[in-house]
Amino acid sequence: MVLADAENERTMKKQTSMNGVDFHRVDNDVNGNPRYVVHFLSLAANYDRAIEIARKIGGKKYRAKWFGGGIVFQSYNIVDLAQDILSHTEYSNTGKVAG
């Protein structure tokens, strides 16, 4: 589909990496606040656990089909959001699941 390809191309141009976390800029929410999507693997190795962690810092499931396993955050400051994600992640400094 040409329309879907154009939408993905537009969205992929808005990708940013901050402190090792990849953010994908998506359309604003209904109130005009900026939203960013991260992959669940940025938080945990298990999707359900990642959603649980994300909810503690204001994240929700991202239901768009083009981005499987996404978690959406509303934020004006992705530097602080990246710090929150890193401080709540289940990974140790070696990149392996802590525990």
Closest by Cα among 37, 14, 24, 18 to 79:
18
* pLDDT tens, per residue, the chain with 99 residues: 444 555 555 545 588 888 889 999 999 999 999 999 999 999 999 999 999 999 999 999 999 888 889 999 999 999 999 999 999 887 754 444 444
Report the distance separating Cα 83 and Cα 87, nearest Å: 6
Report yes or no: 91 and 48 within 8 Å, Cβ to Cβ: no
Residue 29 amino acid letter: D
